[in-house]
Each structure stands twice: as C-alpha cells, then as structure tokens.
Structure 1
C-alpha cells in the first residue's frame, strides 16, 4: 500500500483538463465523432459523452471520480455528460487561479444559496418560455444532434415524437407516458439489423421478440392469462416422496396428469382465454392440448416483459391451480389482436392490449445497418425520454440552504426580509404539492419528494410594511418576484397578488436571500433556445447579483462560476464562423443591458431544468474534489489479521 499526499491544486489539475480535452471536440451539433475500438475488434464511431468517458482508461483517482459523477448526472437527467466535464474543468481551473483554499470551499456552499438561486429566480426566469406541447421535435432534434449524425437525428426525432404522441394522446398523460417509456423502452422497441433507418416505424401494441410455441388464429376480442409456473400438474407436492411400485402405476399417473392438463385447457377455452403468456417453459403435453383447444401459447417471457404487460393491463400473473380445478379465472387481460410478425428472418409475436391506464401501448421497430448502430440509436432514444421527463419537473429552492440562510440572517441581522404575521400565515396556508429536486444530484435515478410551493392563484392579500420605503412583489404562475427596478416580460401575465418587503440594498450582505421569493425557483416546463443562451444568461445574472454581496469569497466564487459557464458556448462555437462566440456574446450582453429581447436562433430548444441541474451537480462535484487532502492507493488487497498472529508475521 502506498500513500500519496496531494494538494488542492494537484488533485484536479491534470485530470480535469485531460477529460475536458477528450470530450470537447464532440460537444454540440457541430462536434466530431470518436472511433471506439471494442475488445472484440469492432470499431464504433460515437459522439455520446457517456460512451467516451467509459471508454477512457483512467488511472488518476480524481479523474475516475469526475467521470463517475458525469455519468451519474447523465443517468439522472438523460443529458449533459460532456458539458459536465467541460464546465467542471473550467470551474476547477478558475478556483486554482484564484488560490483555492478552505475559504473558497465554504464559499461554494454559500454561493449556491446566496447568488445562484437568486440569479435563477429573479433574473433567468424572465427569459424562459413554456415548452411547446405539440412540438416535441424542437426539443428532440438538438438533443440528438449532440449524439447522432444529421440524417439520423431528424428521422429519430420524428419517430420519438410520434411514439410519445401515440402512447399519450392527451398532453396531461404525457409525463406518465414518458416515465414508462424511459423505464420500459427495451421492451417497447424491437431492433432490426440489415435495413435502413428509414424503414423504422411505430406499431400499435407490443412486440415480443420470440415465436409462438402454439399459434391458433382467433378473431374478435379475446382474453390472455399470465402465468409464471409450468401448468402441467405435478405428481406430488414439493418435498413429498412419490413411490411407484409398478409400470402400471406409473402409466396411470401419467394418464392422470394428461387428463388434468386437458381439463385445464377446457376451462381456459370456456373462459374465452385464447392466449397464454408464460415466463416458464411449458411441457409438451401443455402445448399439445393448447393447440387442440385453440389456445395460443407464448413462453419464456422475461420478467421485464411480464412486468410491462401487468403494468399496462393491471393483471397479475395467475397462481398455480393445484387441486382446485373449479376455481374461477378472473385475472385475465383483454387482447385486441394477436398475430405473428416477421422481422427480416425472425418470427415475433405482435399483441395489442386494452390499457387500463392513460398509457396506450405502442412499439417502435428500430431499423439500422448493423447491431452496433441500433444499439446506439436505442440508447439515445431511451435517454431522450429521460430528458423529456425533466421538462415537467420544477426547480425548488432547497430547504437546507433556506434554513441555513435564515439562521445566518438572524445571527448577523443583515439583509433580513421583514414579514408580518399575516404574510407568514399567507405563505403557510397557500401551498400545494409539487415535485422537488432530490438533494443528492449524483444518484443514478432522481427521486421525487414533495415540497410546498406558494400558489399565486389562491391568494389576494396585500400586506403593508411598517416602513415608508416598500417594494411591490408580484407573484405569477410562470414568472418571478419583481422588485421596483425589475419587471418580468414587461408586466405581461402578472397577477394581482402582491406584498411589501424591505428593498434589497447593495451595501448589505446576501445572507437572508431564502425568503425573497417563493420556494419554486423555476416552474415546470420552461425551455430556452439551444446554443449557449442558458450559459450567457446565467453568467450575466450571477455577475450582476454577485456585485451586491460584500462577502469577498462568495464574490470570487461567483466570478469563477460565471466565467466558467462561458466555456460551454465557447466550445459550441469552435467550429462555427470566425469570432462566432465573440459576436454572439457581445450581442447577447448588449441586449441584456439595454433590456431588449435576445437574438434567437431557430436551431431548437433545450430544457432549463436539465441545464440548471448540470450547474448544481458540477458544484457538488467540485466541493467533493476540493475536500480531498490525501489519496491512498492500494496495490494489493489487505489480508485479514487474526488474533493469533504476532507482529513477527508481518
């Protein structure tokens, strides 16, 4: 075992820059592709950030942590692995140049609550637009542009949008459909190699990638029975010895089993059960009598396929019949059609189910020249559904920052927002449940927790301040709290609900920021044009609000993060026209300073939730890396030390 001491600078200097250099060339729609060589010798061109990071042979422990955190963020939001690495490297480099130490590590935590949340809630929100419900391609095409080629992304974006609309005809059911598509996409698509991508299509129902064990054509509505055990009756119960004294007894036992199996198939036929879906391999006698009585059989289904069918139909697998052959069969699923389907040279089962939920089952037939390409396309689409789920989530201010800000505000007695008793009661009473961002942004799956959000439509109370100078704060459904010098959307869509608070002063600290806006930083559904608009806006407002803080370390961190955000649009415009980033940056900043609309491109939209969570995840990773003071490398596993061993044995 070796021990290696590492300073704050050396922990992250080389690994961060190396990782950023490896993925920067593939960032954005104009990025290039990397050629990955698999152990089997197969060459795979890709622009996927997760695949690039997983393919790198990373030796430094810090680099492994960075790659793991980037992949964890990607798994949670479906997007941002390459942007995560580029932004992380820029933040670490800026902190190192600023002389990063313990003070800046503490300032990172304060920056998120005091500056970042304020910049998002009072600055960024005024520029957001709602996601177009019927234009999913505007979100999908730029998302797929960072992973696939131009011809592929357009076709796949249309297929993905078509699958979403068919599975969720109403917009209200779309969040539920997206969650199911993200979880069950491997079972809701069938890959077909050897055909061009243009041959891909969306079919109603689901496709089971196996052939019928017994197929009996049936017209009209029929019932399906789900089973997980062999239906051939056992000669004895488990653990019970079965003794046969003669050949005649054995033959009589087999005849008893055959009669029981035939009786079972008669009962299925009488209950209009004409399809048997089994996760277990069935005996030949079961298949024989199923054909005889017109029951189609599909066997050896995976547990994931059985779970999908149960979720769609609301039917649980039927338990074993045992000795009770007269028990009524109630757990059956309604099937609209059941047909064989030929995909190139492979026979599959195509089944249509009557759904008991808002999700209408449809299956994507995904064609591609080779299996490797189909694998990339399927992975991109599954993560696209994960990304679309984030559009319907709300960014809430986190309770730990709020509580810490309130306690610090009481201790220092600066920048305190004075609320009257009536106003506090209003905030307490007018609440509703909403999805909250999980505290840990590095988990593979984001958890949904319930929080309280001020409902602007249920309150119409004017609270007067005891002081003469007061600032009106207007709360709107998709807008922000507005001070006397700020007006969201020029006053468009603002509600009448308002309250008076003590205005924020530039010479005061930003400690008590938690109470100057509602718990919801960004409402569900906002989007921005792709191409660096989010980073430019957040850069501008972080610098703007950082000037109002007198805590020098928070100001330093604010400037570092604001400058680091520009590293993403810089990388996006590397392959564009000369001085493309400089021109874009100056036009955007001048428009913001003059309070004019930003120049907008027509290249598509991106989820603000995903972008904001990217910044939060990077800040958490930076805090984790900067807390490392010692790296211990273990060359061989530690041996267990027994009590009887002496020191001379080592």
Structure 2
C-alpha cells in the first residue's frame, strides 16, 4: 500500500482474516499449539493468543492497530485474545456482506460499513448489557461476594475451580488444567485478605506477581508448588546463613552504606602539597571512612540486624565489615521484591544508613538459602501479625521441561488471576428500563428481569453465544413488530447475533454436527421452559442434570437429528456441550464491547499515511495496593 492510499473495506477484512487464520489453529480446548522460529534458530511453542500475536512481524498498520486493541483488552481481562480476533473477523465479514447488499448505490461500501459499525457500538454500549441480563444471566450461576472469608466454600460447588479449569484447558491443554486450577485456587486462598473483598487480594497478587513466582526449567509441570514466605531472586553476597528456621532481623537499604557526608560549610583538611603529606592525608581519609563504617555496623549490631537487603551493590569494605560482624548481605534486589518484602514485613526501606531506627528493622521467622533448579536464592519467612491474620504469605514455583514452557505457564497463571479479577469486579451497565424489559422478555413480569452484575458465570462450550444469539434474534423480531417500531434498528442486533455464532462454530469445528445439536437443543430447552434454569451440574453417575426453578430436575438428551428436552432420560456428560467448565459473563460482555469498539475504529480509517517517526512508548509500574487500603482508594 502506497503512502496516502485509500483504505478499502476489503483491505481491512483481508488483513484481519490473516490474523484469524493464525489464531484459529490454536483456538478452543481442542486447539493445537503454534511453533515459531526466530532468525537465531530459537523455537517458541505456545497456545497463548497474546503471545502468538505479539510474536508476529506485522507490517500492515491495520494489523498492528487490531493487535493493539487485542492486547489492550487481554491486559485488562487476562483472556479472550483469540476469541477477540475470531469475533472481529466474523463481524467485519458480516458488515462487508451487508454493505455490498446496500440498495443505495450512491453510498459507498466504506460509508455503509462505518455507519453499521457506529450503530453496533451504540447498541453495545446502550442495550447489550440489558440483553445479556435477561437472555443469558438467568441461565448461569453467581460467585458470591457476601463472605470473602468463606472463599474456600466455593470449592464445594466447584464454581471457582471449574472457571479456572476451563481457562487453563484452552491455554495449557487437558493434561494440566486440573493441576494448575487447584494450584491457582490454593494460592488465592492463602492470600485472601481479612475483612476485605477478594478483588483486593486478586489485585495484590496480580500487581506483585513478578516477585511472587519463580520459574524452574528442567522439571515436569507437576512439580510446581507453593512454598512458605518469599523467595528473593538473589544470592547472598558472601557467606550465607545455615538452612534453619532461626529468627532473624533484616533491614532494607535503597542506597550505599557510606561514610557520613560532610555538612555544608565543613571542610576536611588533606594537608600540604608534598607527596609525603598527600600520602598521609589519603591514609587519614581512609581511616576516617573506615571508622564511619564501623559506626554504621556497630549501630546495626546494636539493633540486632543480621540480614541486609540492598537495592544496589555495596563496596568491598562494607562486605568485609559485615562478614566480620556476622551479618549477611543480599545485593541488587529488584524494586518489586523490595516493595513486596516491605509490605509483608512492615519494614520501611532506608536510604540514609545514619537515620536507621528500631522501627525500620523487620523481624523474620527465618532467612536461609534455597536451591531452585540450578540457582540458589534467598528464602525468607514472615511472622504472623494481627493486620493479616488470615493471610499466609507464600511464593509460587512454576516448573516446566523447557524455558518456553515455564514462561507460558507463568503467563497463563497471571492471566488466570486477571480473569478472576475481571469476573469479580463490578460492571457499570446501563439501567434497564421497563420498555426494554417488556420487549426482551414478554413472557415474564417486567420486575423480575435481572440486572447484569459481577461474579456471574455460564457453562462454557458456546453456551453464552447460543443464549445471546437467541436473545438478540428475539429482540430483532420484537423491534420489527409495529408495536415496537421505536425500539431501534433490528438489523443491528441480527448482525451481532450472526457474528457471535462464529465462536461455537470454531469450538465444534472438528464435529460440525455437534454445533447444530447443541444450538437446537439449547434453544428447544429454553422454549419449553417458562422459568430460567440454574447451573447445569454433573450427576453421580456421570450424567448431566439441569436444575430448574419450580419444575424439579430434568436432564438433557441428544437426539439423532436434534437435541430435545426430556424428563426421565439421562445422557453421558461427555456427549453434551455444557460439560466444558465455566466462563465469566462479565468477561464475555467486556470482550464484545471491545470488539465493537475496535471494529468501529478500523472502519473509520479512510487512508493510511506512512511516516518514519519512531513511536515513543512509556511503561509505568502498576500501583500496588496495601492491605490497609480502603475500597474507595482501590477504586481510585
């Protein structure tokens, strides 16, 4: 494309379709892995959509713009990068077909496509939340936020583990999804904050994840585990303490241990100009410096300090004096690890060694070396305190056969925490009016329509898309009726209804007949029930049971030509789509809004101008949240 060339709708669709062909091969629980080779000969094997998209060499500006939108969304929700591309390609394909069929020949395809994209975005921001609230939410379950201290109780109803398992199934495969789900759940349970929302704990783990985990290559992933305390990814500078559980006192220095600086106006006499006097002055200066360092070390001994954590490299004189005093120094500790240590120990990092006080010294349960793989690190344990009585600080050790596999597992672990955080955080959805309620669900009283709220989950395997497709088509039919002519453009909801089916089509791409069975069965089940169903669960004999409201229990059965609802028939769980774990409704909702916004941005571009100005990016460390932070501070 030449500089200043007009950007056609067909060009945008072709560019996004190329990205779709890449992620399609690794999409879903049955998807494979993508192998990348670099110019250096290094190979990378991954199923992560974010990792795959960032590894591509993208020259087309539209492709880079689309990938940027994907990465921005996945950074917030931790999931949905591959689904984002599939939905975006399907939506653009449908818009392109609709624009080509436009009867108004005076209007160009690009103008029609841009108009449809704006209408879809307006529908998504104003009415999509209402459609999901009425057409999808009643068929799911909720992760309660009333008792954060009872987070472990969710393990009994399998909501949280199944939500994690379905996430890991698409990222790491069937072999490790259960193990990683349990490991993630155990970590979050130990970091559960007392008298606080789970979102506070999830955000703390997410923001401090680089300092909370260690990767070890050369071991199977099943060797991953949780260990007590914190692992500082540095070794002792000189000698190291024995590997015991003896209490220790530590202090954090952010600068060098140096002699006391001269005050303004003070002068240190160095003598005359002869060579002998200069040598004498240098010896005096060295003696003065050593005495000052001796005073610093003596002050540390008086406070009982045995471990020094330093953000910088100390001088050889400091190391020698510390070794003589029986102190152990850990140099060049990262900022993230020092921050986490200060949060957990209560110690205040000190920059001036002469201003050290007793309140700046942290009392540790132990400080010892630990060997993880081929590296030796520093392992510290913290004493219990009243402020975090329910918290059991621990570190995560992620193992893998290769370096790439460990990095992939670590990325999936952090994305799982982000996904839970996005699933639990409140959603600002539009207010449901009585007119919309009546038009969306006419067979129920308007006051019973639920409101889209946080913590809602839905069975995976295309259930969300099937339910949303059914609700959108119903809305389109109601809007087309003369009595509801003022409800908006019904074609917009029908376009979105057709686009969302691209996800379950890809899920069942290996067995297309299953797609028709699943869609027909779910729609038939909805039409034959006057009340919404709660979460589908698994029976003792491996069958799928559907718990209804007021109608008792009834299973779902697959027929040869379609799926129908029966009262006394049981079916094996492996034959039904709803035995695929759980998905977050709020994450799906945010994904649709992000896709609609991305499509609107892409279709508003008229021309592409190539420049040689380098892009300037600015990275900023995420703000960490203290355990004592209030709800208002967290929201700010």
Tell whether the structures are fold-level matches, with TM greater than 0.5: yes
Aligned counterpart in structure 2 of residue 224 of structure 1, from 223, 236, 250: 250
- 1:244 corresponding residue in structure 2: 270
Quick one: structure 1 residues 240 and 539, their matched pair in 2 at CA, closer, same or farther if it must change by over 3 Å?
farther
Residue 203 of structure 2 corresponds to residue 269 of structure 1: no
C-alpha distance in structure 2 between counterparts of 1:572 and 1:482, whole Å: 28
Residue 591 of structure 2 corresponds to residue 591 of structure 1: no
Residue 516 of structure 2 corresponds to residue 579 of structure 1: no
Quick one: structure 1 residues 628 and 237, their matched pair in 2 at CA, closer, same or farther if it must change by over 3 Å?
same
- 1:45 corresponding residue in structure 2: 45
Structure 1 window deviating more from structure 2 (551-560 vs 292-301): it is: 551-560
Equivalent residues of 2:429, 2:452 under 8 A apart: no
Residue 288 of structure 2 corresponds to residue 256 of structure 1: yes
Instruction: Give CA-to-partner distance per residue, 1:7-65, whole Å, 9 cap, x none.
Output: 4x224221122221221121111011111112321112211111221223333322221
Secondary structure of 2:257's aligned partner: coil
* CA deviation after TM superposition for structure 1 residue 306, in Å: 1.2
Secondary structure of 2:358's aligned partner: coil
Residue pairs, 1:7-86, within 5 angstroms? 7=8, 9-86=9-86
Quick one: structure 1 residues 57 and 589, their matched pair in 2 at CA, closer, same or farther if it must change by over 3 Å?
same
Gaps of 5+ in 2: 100-111, 144-152, 272-276, 480-484, 534-545, 547-555, 557-576, 615-636
- 1:375 corresponding residue in structure 2: 407
Equivalent residues of 2:232, 2:378 under 8 A apart: yes
Residue 366 of structure 2 corresponds to residue 337 of structure 1: yes
Secondary structure of 2:609's aligned partner: strand
Structure 1 window deviating more from structure 2 (215-224 vs 181-190): it is: 215-224
* CA deviation after TM superposition for structure 1 residue 482, in Å: 10
Residue pairs, 1:12-411, within 5 angstroms? 12-99=12-99, 100-131=112-143, 133-134=154-155, 135=158, 136-168=160-192, 174-213=198-237, 214-217=239-242, 220-233=246-259, 236=262, 244-245=270-271, 246=277, 247-322=279-354, 328-354=357-383, 356-357=387-388, 359-397=391-429
With structure 2 as the length reference, what TM-score do the two structures score? 0.77
Quick one: structure 1 residues 95 and 253, their matched pair in 2 at CA, closer, same or farther if it must change by over 3 Å?
same
C-alpha distance in structure 1 between counterparts of 2:349 and 2:217, whole Å: 33
Equivalent residues of 2:229, 2:393 under 8 A apart: yes
Equivalent residues of 1:281, 1:299 under 8 A apart: yes
C-alpha distance in structure 2 between counterparts of 1:581 and 1:590, whole Å: 14
With structure 1 as the length reference, what TM-score do the two structures score? 0.75
Quick one: structure 1 residues 102 and 378, their matched pair in 2 at CA, closer, same or farther if it must change by over 3 Å?
closer
* CA deviation after TM superposition for structure 1 residue 83, in Å: 0.2
Aligned counterpart in structure 2 of residue 630 of structure 1, from 599, 607, 618: 607
C-alpha distance in structure 1 between counterparts of 2:525 and 2:15, whole Å: 37
Quick one: structure 1 residues 18 and 223, their matched pair in 2 at CA, closer, same or farther if it must change by over 3 Å?
same
Residue 558 of structure 2 corresponds to residue 526 of structure 1: no
- 1:618 corresponding residue in structure 2: 595
C-alpha distance in structure 1 between counterparts of 2:74 and 2:94, whole Å: 24
Gaps of 5+ in 1: 407-414, 418-470, 474-480, 489-497, 500-516, 639-650
Quick one: structure 1 residues 67 and 188, their matched pair in 2 at CA, closer, same or farther if it must change by over 3 Å?
same
C-alpha distance in structure 2 between counterparts of 1:32 and 1:86, whole Å: 16
Aligned counterpart in structure 2 of residue 601 of structure 1, from 573, 578, 600: 578
Number of aligned residues: 530
